[in-house]
Structure 1
């Protein structure tokens, strides 16, 4: 049985499907396969088998305009082969009578949604539900929980108070411009651009999926915030100040803002440890905050971050320096203290141990610490950039290629070089990465001149 591969789907030759064959067909190693029924009773019937082993029925037909369409008939084994053939015949008969089954289904869904989606608030509920279950994938892949959490924060903080109660059709470009101008006037240029992008995506969903809007008002709203790429790299003295402050945050008092002036800066020990790990490991804030115990092999000093938690979707192996291992072991001891059952997370949330520490908590803590120290604004990514810059400096002279692998950046090389790196270099850079991170650990210890 020959087959031709197209993208991530293998379109296979026709097979006279039987109950035994359908039950026994195995999932493909990647993508999915589609098997066409060669039985005349099943003309146009397709058995679709995903990589996870999920099996579903689809019928292919042409509408009265000659356009090829597909219509889902249900999942196997909920829908048997015999039932699938019966539904296939019904769908093709409907199409021959001028009724488009797929189009009719879309209209029913659209009508149902239009009855429940009246305001922007209503749209937000459906939008976030579709994002969380994976129905809405604007970039072709499911959104990470951290992404959805960030979107919900933008919605609650900036969008909902101004636009949430408006009927969907009454959200105008002028309303959006006024919201963005207000943020820019407060100096929140980056937030203004993020809010614009969020509203645009929500209306894209309303048009393309929910089918409750016909135009996107953001199309007539330009970006208003002026963003300058950050290039902040901490000097040795700044690293020393921040590191020592994280060791004793109780000694800090807020020095900015009338309402919080002279109040003690509170940074919990787990948050302080997580921030120090940002600097030691060079990993992203959501990767450190969401660190799972199952990802760690502390005896071998390796942290394996699965692709489901990395920005580029690729698994990365992070060698842990001695200092990083010490910090992680302390975090685990703190998480287990006084508990009968350990959390799955190294940094469990304070009020719900079944959830991880939020990445935003690291950002807030760094902001409060930097203000109390009278330092310029400091973000988690600044720590990552600082560590990478010190590695590349004359003090350590580490290869940019090795630094890129530690950062888990996608290779910019093309052709055969990219294939070689992506296929064979998964573990090959471990010695180089480990050596680089140990050397950075030692330099950091010299800079802070204190025990980790």
Structure 2
């Protein structure tokens, strides 16, 4: 019985390197990819007729044909062979059509089928929505290299006319990433979106950037679905819930936490002030911290470096993790969590007539001796718990919305 081929993946195909002689790797059902000495990769179809092995039928260049499309063609040719018909003539006609398929719409499908394969569902959904709603209806029929910067500006202007400057900038960024991919595959010779400045589409004052509930949901769900280490996912979520500065979180030690009483006391020495700061922890934060502690990664640091548990992760680690995710949240920096929380907390306090100061950071800076002011402490606890519940509500709403789009 012949040995079955193990199906290939896009990442495996991209990793195939040229050798001194060309070679083939099988995907199954007659489909193989041939790697030439130049590095070019070509899809072929292997088959037999009347018990005799036939020359390979050429499907086409890997740069223009995704794995999914190549498999569909191989299936079609296998059905012809089962009827005793050579697939060569059909493959030749297909290649003729393929050579004309250099328009942006076809390129976008290739991009979605390959580059998006390892991304989260939310990332793929927002990317496809931008392409299907605004980009492809306008320029999908244009040849890849005929798209200009003026085309991109016109698309963004139409989106802005709907009152959505942030969506316009997001769409420009989607096109920019699409063309970067096409250039890497040598299918495009320039990136028309790259020469369109982001500032010309939408500007944001970094001192007033506040994430909407939808953006909070998008970010946290994308982080949770990503491949970054679990402690970093929890760290980013804790930044949202606690509203402390990044350095205060990543350099925290277990000695600072009283999880039974949901308190975190940041020492004055670490703050470079003359007083400790007490952070009230909502139950969601306590749960995350208990998970981190149960992992026993370090006896001292909550977020130890992977190079050894005698020091915490670098302050830049969380920034790098967020940047690597390519999150669909424009003009965002981690410090925006504090401003975002403060803004939403004011709205929550206004709706519920909750007392207490909600200016960032919304927790007390009094020393331990002053914590006897039970009423103020209780009010702060209630407000912080409402904030954590609000964040959960945004995440749940985003999941339901994504599930509805998938139906």
* TM-score, structure 2 as length reference: 0.43
Structure showing greater relative contact order (alpha-carbon pairs closer than 8 Å, 6 or more residues apart): 2
* TM-score, structure 1 as length reference: 0.39
